Amino acid sequence: MDLVDMTRAPGGSRRVASNAILIGAAALFFAASAAATLRRYAYMATMSGTPMTGGWMLSAIWTPMCGQTWLHAAASFACMWAVMMPAMMLPVLVPMLLRERVVWRDTSEFQSGLLIILIASGYFLAWMLAGLAVFPLGAALAAIAIRLPSLAHATPAAAGAVVVLASLLQFTSWKMKRFGCCRAMRPCARRPHGGALTAVLRGMRLALHCGTCCGNWMAVLLALGVMDWRAMAPVTVAIVAERVAPRHEWVARIVGYAGVIVGGAMMMRGL
């Protein structure tokens, strides 16, 4: 159903207007998230990291700062993750939410809007849970790198290897299948009938499909530095471009070639 069909359908003009409100609200949320992320990056840049063997700096996000406990460090990471996720994933989520709304013809605008909020909440809840799982792994690797200078020396080359491997996945049938599953995921035939919990679970399911589709680029972000906006910006562009571009297969391959070149250069520089 395109925009013209929606306008001609009963209540179609109202639905178009509400979709415009949804897009506008998402744009404001995206701008606020991006601004908050840049501000937090600037704040973290003033914090002294740990100089490591191999000429790189271990971000303070992975270790407790002076006077902090590990619980405080985990909470700081969770806050940073929650701030940056909307800026990264909203451009991907909004088209999915619009597809969900198209088939909810038997709902009022208020109910439809509430369901959208609940689905979006479930979507970002799933990404928050993923972030909580990432922190212990990153903190453990940081602790090992501090204790083992040889591992720290190899880290830049290892990060380049992660970029290369993640980029090579762009050319596999597995990645293309993930695209197909994500694009073929149909919206609910009607509004979720299980109440708030069903809508939240629907959002978490959407996040799971997104995670399997762009997980390789999230690995690149973690390898390059989750607190580095220079890593976040190209990763976000890659995720959005390959998901929303009309010729996503070609875009995925172009991004893959670029990633292989960048990762290869990182490996050579780190050796």
**228-262 residue pLDDT tens:** 778 888 999 998 888 887 777 888 899 999 999 99
pLDDT at 184: 55
pLDDT average, residue stretch 40-68? 77
Which pLDDT score, from 0 to 100, does residue 3 have? Answer: 40
Cα–Cα distance between 76 and 71 in angstroms, integer? 9
pTM: 0.84
Mean residue pLDDT across the chain: 83
Residue 70's pLDDT band (cuts 50, 70, 90): confident
Kindly report, residue by residue over 100-114, the tens digit of the pLDDT: 877 666 677 778 888
Residue 259, pLDDT score: 94
Q: Which residues of 184-212 are buried (b: 16+ CB within 10 A; e: fewer)?
A: eeebbeebbeeeeebbbbbbbebbebbee
Extended beta strands in 6-46, E state? none
Is pLDDT of 49 > 80?
A: no
77 in Cβ contact with 61 (< 8 Å): yes
Contact 231, 266 (CB under 8 A): no
Please provide residue 191's backbone torsions phi and psi, each rounded to the nearest 5 degrees.
-65, 150
Specify whether the backbone of 206 is left (phi greater than 0), alpha (psi in -120 to 50) or beta: alpha
Q: What is the 3-state secondary structure (H, E, C) of 141-168?
A: HHHHHHHCHHHHHHHHHHHHHHHHHHHH
Residue 16 has pLDDT above 60, yes or no: yes
